[in-house]
Chains A and B, each alone.
Chain A
């Protein structure tokens, strides 16, 4: 190494850099092409929730066909598969991932760690607009010739490639793949920001082990996403080549419509490996932010420090790491080497250990807590129950011998929706009820919130519990019509009709939530700076909603962990993270980590 002389002007990296904030001057740079993480967060949230409404309507259409087959003439088999595909892909990638990381990540990371903004606000802005472009391309496929792809959300080849199938015909699949690639580019820009901000831009005193678990969850998930999305990206590139250029990465020797195709040597299994190397971490990319947020909601609304904070952090990291070595448990019936099944079943079941640690710690946090059944708390409690229920059926499906007969039945649909559909959505609702006062300065209406909660919670169980029974009876998933199968009793059809009606009601109830969001913007009770009497930094901002730059003149200094609730000897039942220690106020918990 050459010695670099320390002359004048030589750069010695500063202990901490000062964000050079971009100060917007016009309405457009303030609210449209904004570089402020808080505005970007709201933009992400609005777009993601809008996509969510579209995906919800698609699920209605699907349920109408399943509940009342043949009644609605506009739902033919082709349309049904398109609804399934778009519902799944939209919900998993464009709603849940975007909302947790782009929405909550952008809003909460800088505020919770005491930063003024993300480290690279301009890149952060690009991230949102590229995401928006991805959404436009995806939605465009509804208007393209032949409509969107009907390949199923997993886009399995060869049927996603060949032109004679609901998956591969016309423009749908091309637009889907292009949209996913754009999404991944946009996400990478955001994800790098989230990770580097957490690692390198925390305020004075904010050690890693003083960070709220929400930040830990979002941080771990963002990091995982940066390593998992590449596999999907590569899969998309190769499939696009197969579809558009006629290569044969994923197409084996095959006969289409009686005609042997001029292609051979490809491996459909290769796509499944690439897809699930992304797909399984993706489950935890959605779940880990939910875990983190729920920990904070429970601690705040039960007025009790989180039980086993260190173990909670290590469990998050362990789940994150393990989730990269379990992907092929989605492929037990794919025809891969059967001995792989043993390995992947083992790793899958090992994940139950850190997950169980988290659940026990949540319960022990609640134990003898001063539980306030506020709307966010209700959603958080509902999440724990739902996640445990969904997780238990995961133990069934993680075992090869149980999975093989259940794999293509409604049991999988039920499991997946409990654990990855309903559970994270409950957290999203809870988190919106919790942080809406900080974002807007006003509380959401409580009565409407409780109505929304009870219908959604009970309704979700009315929808997905019966599906487990349908699955155990052998009712297959993804079928347009069940028809006259000897093993499907007439009661299954009645149950399907029941599920459809409940789904329509629960879906319609979400409009109460949307109404609440809009109505409370003007008419909600004024919240004040810290309505939940919480300890974390975002509630200690000098103004609410927090202004550009978040903290006014001085960034906050952190003296304690995020969970000093009901400290003996303290005046109030909570001590904010930025309150210094005094003789009567000892530093609790991990203050000297």
Chain B
């Protein structure tokens, strides 16, 4: 009795094609996105919301940069390291970017091994990702220290518009916080994978729900997003 009204939805799906299929799928019962779990859907929507946060930060930065009355400091000079007497612009930033992008690679491999239920390799790759993330944050701390020693403060700097320091500390700080949270969650999740929580159906400490290897992929979504944001910060703050 129950399936009478439900079947016509399914038949509809079989009979239409292309865009119609997408529309029918979206509007059907139970799930709008058929093969997407709750956790993954939630992460995607959260990332969309977070995109708006970083967009607002970056647009605000661009507005500030365009509306200041004093010249903007030259990023190539500010962010240069002097090694052996020669000044290498953006050297540290280049290494940081390389480290973070590499961590996306190890994360993607972790996701793959996660779906193969290879506990050890998954956990090891997640640890490697966390390590690279921590390295990134460490180098950022080094960069902050160097700039602070040179007299850069949120409210002033020796080279030009005060908004340079303000936006720099705010945006890199906010991104660095994202990376730090990512590292913390990577470590928590790597421990769970290592211990085999997802094989033994062990329940979570807070939520008392069973976890799944899919969590690794959801973690990966967040991590790739944080990397992607860095690409935009790199392009708009350091290269401009």
Task: Annotate A171-192 by CB proximity to B: 1 below 8 A, 0 otherwise.
Answer: 0000000000000000010011
Is B162 among interface residues, defined by CB-CB distance under 8 A?
yes
Is B188 among interface residues, defined by CB-CB distance under 8 A?
no
Q: How far is the CA of A62 from the CA of B160 in the complex (A)?
A: 46
Q: Contact check, A248 vs B27: say whether CB atoms are below 8 A apart.
A: no
Q: Contact check, B26 vs A246: say whether CB atoms are below 8 A apart.
A: no
Closest residue to B174 on the A side, CB-wise? A237
Q: Which residues of chain A are within 8 angstroms of B29 by Cβ–Cβ distance? A: 202-207, 210, 558
Distance in angstroms from A202 CB to nearest chain B CB is: 5
Q: Which residues of chain A are within 8 angstroms of B60 by Cβ–Cβ distance? A: 234, 238, 249, 270, 274
Is B161 among interface residues, defined by CB-CB distance under 8 A?
yes
Task: Annotate A237-265 by CB proximity to B: 1 below 8 A, 0 otherwise.
Answer: 11001000111110001000000000111
Q: Which residues of chain B are within 8 angstroms of A233 by Cβ–Cβ distance? A: 53, 56
Given A13-B37, A233-B53, A591-B5, the answer on whether A245 and B42 have CB atoms closer than 8 Å is no
Q: Contact check, A20 vs B36: say whether CB atoms are below 8 A apart.
A: no
Q: Contact check, B6 vs A580: say whether CB atoms are below 8 A apart.
A: no
Closest residue to B207 on the A side, CB-wise? A122
Name which of B33, B163, B199, B214 has the most chain A CB atoms within 10 A of its CB. B163
Q: Contact check, A201 vs B155: say whether CB atoms are below 8 A apart.
A: no
Q: Which residues of chain A are within 8 angstroms of B112 by Cβ–Cβ distance? A: 2, 4
Is B31 among interface residues, defined by CB-CB distance under 8 A?
yes
Given A4-B116, A192-B42, the answer on whether A206 and B6 have CB atoms closer than 8 Å is no
Chain B interface size band reads: 35 or more
Q: Contact check, B64 vs A206: say whether CB atoms are below 8 A apart.
A: no
Q: Contact check, B68 vs A265: say whether CB atoms are below 8 A apart.
A: yes
Chain A interface size band reads: 35 or more
Distance in angstroms from A56 CB to nearest chain B CB is: 32
Q: How far is the CA of A372 from the CA of B170 in the complex (A)?
A: 57
Is B28 among interface residues, defined by CB-CB distance under 8 A?
yes
Is A569 among interface residues, defined by CB-CB distance under 8 A?
no
- Cβ contacts A to B, 30 pairs, < 8 Å: A9-B117, A11-B214, A13-B214, A15-B31, A16-B31, A20-B209, A20-B210, A22-B207, A119-B38, A120-B42, A122-B207, A188-B49, A192-B42, A199-B31, A203-B30, A205-B6, A208-B27, A226-B48, A226-B49, A230-B56, A231-B56, A237-B174, A238-B170, A241-B166, A247-B165, A264-B70, A274-B56, A592-B5, A592-B9, A593-B27
Task: For the A-B complex with A15-B30, A233-B53 known, give 14 more contacts whose Cβ atoms are closer than 8 Å.
Answer: A192-B49, A199-B31, A229-B49, A241-B170, A245-B154, A246-B154, A247-B166, A249-B166, A263-B155, A264-B69, A265-B67, A270-B63, A558-B29, A581-B4
**A interface, CB within 8 angstroms of B:** 2, 4-5, 7, 9-11, 13, 15-17, 20, 22, 119-122, 188, 191-193, 195-196, 199-210, 223, 226-227, 229-231, 233-235, 237-238, 241, 245-249, 253, 263-267, 270, 274, 277, 557-560, 580-581, 587, 591-593
